[in-house]
Amino acid sequence: MSKPYKITLEIKRYDPDTNLSWIQSYTVEVGGILRFVDVLRKINDEQDPTLAWASSCEHAQCGSCGIIVNGKPLLACELLVKDAIQQFKTNSFKLRPLTIAPVLRDLVVDLEKAYERVHKAKPYLIKPAPIPEEGDEYRISQEKLDTYIEATQCINCFCCATACISTHHHFIGPNAAMANIVRLMDPRETAKEERTEILYREDGVYRCHTSRACSFVCPKNIDVSHFLALGKEGRF
């Protein structure tokens, strides 16, 4: 059994009924292999049932538990207490909601609002190529797939979009831009013209300053800025 740690979470609270916001501190004793979602649940169970936060799959697949811990956007279901202490070199953690969308309550943000950015990028095949006559499926070569498969692992957690300073200045955001680029790279997509219009418009990929913060924070280890660079260079 791992030894217990005493940690303090300073959490930004927000009550939409009163429109009041404040910082609330919770000190808990927890095992090192608990994840931050477990710690938040423990706080709900033992100290404060009113603290609101979001999660669903808790296996880093749904992207709903994104929060900012000591300035870094990450998934609360992935961060172990012992790793957080080692990574941030402290037992004290400041938890904030993602900044990509309005806060609904405490650590919960309006992901539907955030998703509006992704919808603008049309994250689907707008006009798929016809299925070849021989066989009943469209086959993509492994060589081609290898050039963009990494980008298809995106779970739209918006950690990159929160880390990206350009997102807050009329940029559609790294994950949304990448969602467009990946379908420009997909040989099944024939609506290339419509896609490049989306890519190069006012809120498009040229708003990216290549700071690489997106790649640094991505919990799926996607080199997001690499795909944005391909987009800027028109290398689909």
CA distance 220 to 217: 9
Q: Does 172 interact with ligand SF4 (rule: CB under 6 A)? A: no
Task: Kindly state the smallest distance separating residue 144's Cβ from ligand SF4, in Å.
Answer: 21
Task: Kindly state the smallest distance separating residue 102's Cβ from ligand SF4, in Å.
Answer: 18
Q: Which residues pair with 69 in a beta bridge?
A: 72, 95
Structural contact between residues 111 and 155, judged by C-beta atoms closer than 8 angstroms = no
Closest among 200, 203, 180 to 126, alpha carbons compared: 180
Contact with ligand SF4 (CB under 6 A): which of 67, 175, 189, 203? 175
Q: Does 157 interact with ligand SF4 (rule: CB under 6 A)? A: yes
Q: Does 156 interact with ligand SF4 (rule: CB under 6 A)? A: yes
Task: Kindly state the smallest distance separating residue 75's Cβ from ligand SF4, in Å.
Answer: 8
Q: Does 212 interact with ligand SF4 (rule: CB under 6 A)? A: yes
Contact with ligand SF4 (CB under 6 A): which of 55, 64, 166, 180? 166
Question: Within 10 Å of residue 129's Cβ, how many Cβ atoms?
Answer: 12
Q: Does 56 interact with ligand SF4 (rule: CB under 6 A)? A: no
Q: Does 184 interact with ligand SF4 (rule: CB under 6 A)? A: no
Q: Does 65 interact with ligand SF4 (rule: CB under 6 A)? A: no
Structural contact between residues 7 and 26, judged by C-beta atoms closer than 8 angstroms = no
Residue whose CB is less far from ligand SF4, 7 or 37: 37
Task: Kindly state the smallest distance separating residue 178's Cβ from ligand SF4, in Å.
Answer: 6
Q: Is 14 helix (H, G, I), strand (E, B) or coil?
A: strand
Contact with ligand SF4 (CB under 6 A): which of 65, 77, 80, 208? 208
Q: Is 199 helix (H, G, I), strand (E, B) or coil?
A: helix
CA distance 212 to 164: 8
Closest among 172, 170, 224, 216 to 72, alpha carbons compared: 216
Q: Is 4 helix (H, G, I), strand (E, B) or coil?
A: strand
Tokens encoding 217: 């924070």
Angle at 203 between CA 200 and CA 207, to 5 degrees: 80
Tokens encoding 86: 């080692």
Contact with ligand SF4 (CB under 6 A): which of 222, 230, 231, 236? 222
Contact with ligand SF4 (CB under 6 A): which of 144, 170, 192, 209? 209
Query: Which of the ranges 93-101, 107-115, 180-188, 216-224 carries the binding residues for ligand SF4, by CB under 6 A?
Result: 216-224
Task: Give contact residues for ligand SF4 (rule: CB under 6 A).
Answer: 154-160, 163-164, 166, 174-175, 208-214, 217-220, 222, 224-225, 228
